[in-house]
């Protein structure tokens, strides 16, 4: 009971105790998970940021962050304060935008995590369009697998996430259940399809399509466990027999070169193959699967209580490219 009273007292974020810059500081540290990285993004020195947080903790008489060799993490009360700080910053951001309706000036940082197929195709065009309109917003883009993107959103490290999901969700996947049971908002962007791909010297390269039972006769090159699609692929093909996995990697360049140099099969989305140099040059050949489609779709995800004006504007521009 005493602990609850203390939390309620401290999360009031009284005007005479907390300044706007302090709210920005704690939110940035929570998102980056690092004081040094937060200091870089905030354009202040690390000692200055550390001192500001220490002084704030003294003023509030609470510990906002736990420090260790592994990094910095929010305490329970720190999470509550950061959540309210985000809401306040969003409201101030919207107020500024309303005041500056003529110039529509947006400032601050916008952190985005996205799967590789989006980072390598649509994202450069979206970012260019966004920066042209809002040059005062500093964008931070991180390329990660679906599971890592979801963790970044849940942990407050990213404002927006772009993930790839199978059309048929896994009932037994705890990570995907998180999308339905937490405060994460999921918005579908567009549909896509995974295609099996082989090297130009593969015996399969002369085919336009291949039966599922023939696919498993060849070794697979898959992405590692931070990606969702390998699990989807393994579950789709296990009914046809055992799968031989030649290599798992988080690097799409390595995966593609391994496919080119061996008789292995890899799986890539149509979106990622559109502008892929290996596909365009004919070094990698995409095939159709007989009577089967590995249907996927891309979604934009965000935390329910955190949707800044900059994030809203970026989402609007993203949708215009999909």
Q: What is the pLDDT of residue 151?
A: 86
Contact call for residues 311 and 220 (beta carbons, < 8 A) = no
Query: Class of 1-104 per CATH?
Result: mainly alpha
Rounded Cα gap, residues 27 and 21, in angstroms: 10
Rounded Cα gap, residues 102 and 80, in angstroms: 35
φ, ψ of residue 13 in degrees (nearest 5): 55, 55
For the segment 5-24, what is each residue's pLDDT rounded down to a tens digit? Answer: 444 444 444 444 457 888 88
Q: Is 250 helix (H, G, I), strand (E, B) or coil?
A: coil
Instruction: Write down the architecture of domain 189-298 according to CATH.
Output: 3-Layer(aba) Sandwich (3.40)
Q: Is 63 helix (H, G, I), strand (E, B) or coil?
A: coil
For the segment 136-151, what is each residue's pLDDT rounded down to a tens digit? Answer: 999 999 999 998 998 8
Task: Spell out the domain ranges in the chain.
Answer: 1-104, 189-298
Query: What is the enclosing helix (H) or strand (E) of 248?
Result: strand 245-249
Rounded Cα gap, residues 28 and 19, in angstroms: 15
Burial 73-88 (b: 16+ CB within 10 A, else e): ebeebbebbbbebbee
Assigned token pair, 275: 């502008």
To which residue do tokens 């048929």 refer?
A: 168
Contact call for residues 270 and 122 (beta carbons, < 8 A) = no
CA end-to-end span of the chain? 50
- The one-digit pLDDT tens for each residue of the chain (322 residues) are 444 544 444 444 444 445 788 888 888 888 777 888 888 878 788 888 888 888 888 888 899 998 887 778 888 898 888 888 888 877 777 676 666 544 457 888 899 999 999 998 999 999 999 999 999 999 999 999 998 998 888 877 888 999 999 887 655 566 666 666 567 888 899 999 999 999 999 999 999 999 999 999 999 999 988 888 888 899 899 999 999 999 999 888 999 999 999 999 999 999 999 889 999 999 999 999 998 899 999 999 988 767 788 898 999 999 988 7
Q: How far is CA 298 from CA 34, 78, 191, 237, 238, in A?
A: 29, 32, 6, 22, 24
Q: What is the pLDDT of residue 60?
A: 86
To which residue do tokens 């995966």 refer?
A: 255
């Amino acid at each position: 009971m005493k602990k609850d009273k203390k939390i309620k007292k401290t999360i009031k974020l009284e005007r005479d105790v907390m300044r706007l810059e302090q709210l920005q500081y704690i939110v940035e540290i929570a998102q980056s998970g690092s004081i040094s990285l937060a200091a870089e993004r905030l354009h202040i020195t690390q000692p200055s940021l550390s001192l500001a947080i220490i002084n704030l903790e003294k003023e509030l008489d609470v510990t906002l962050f736990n420090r260790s060799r592994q990094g910095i993490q929010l305490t329970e009360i720190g999470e509550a304060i950061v959540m309210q700080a985000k809401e306040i910053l969003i409201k101030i951001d919207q107020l500024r935008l309303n005041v500056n309706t003529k110039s529509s000036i947006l400032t601050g940082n916008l952190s985005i995590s996205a799967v590789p197929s989006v980072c390598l195709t649509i994202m450069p065009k979206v970012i260019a369009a966004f920066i042209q309109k809002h040059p005062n917003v500093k964008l931070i883009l991180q390329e990660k697998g679906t599971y890592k993107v979801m963790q970044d959103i849940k942990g407050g490290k990213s404002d927006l996430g772009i993930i790839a999901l199978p059309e048929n969700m896994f009932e037994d996947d705890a990570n995907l259940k998180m999308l339905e049971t937490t405060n994460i908002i999921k918005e579908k962007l567009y549909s896509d399809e995974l295609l099996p791909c082989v090297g130009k010297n593969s015996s399969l390269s002369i085919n336009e399509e291949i039966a599922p039972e023939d696919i498993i006769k060849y070794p697979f090159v898959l992405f590692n466990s931070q990606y969702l699609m390998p699990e989807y692929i393994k579950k789709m093909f296990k009914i046809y027999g055992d799968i031989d996995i030649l290599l798992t990697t988080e690097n799409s360049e390595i995966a593609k070169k391994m496919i080119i140099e061996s008789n292995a099969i890899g799986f890539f989305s149509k979106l990622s193959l559109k502008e892929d140099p290996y596909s365009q040059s004919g070094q990698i050949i995409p095939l159709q699967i007989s009577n089967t489609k590995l249907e996927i779709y891309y979604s934009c995800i965000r935390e329910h209580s955190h949707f800044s004006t900059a994030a809203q504007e970026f989402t609007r521009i993203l949708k215009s490219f999909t």
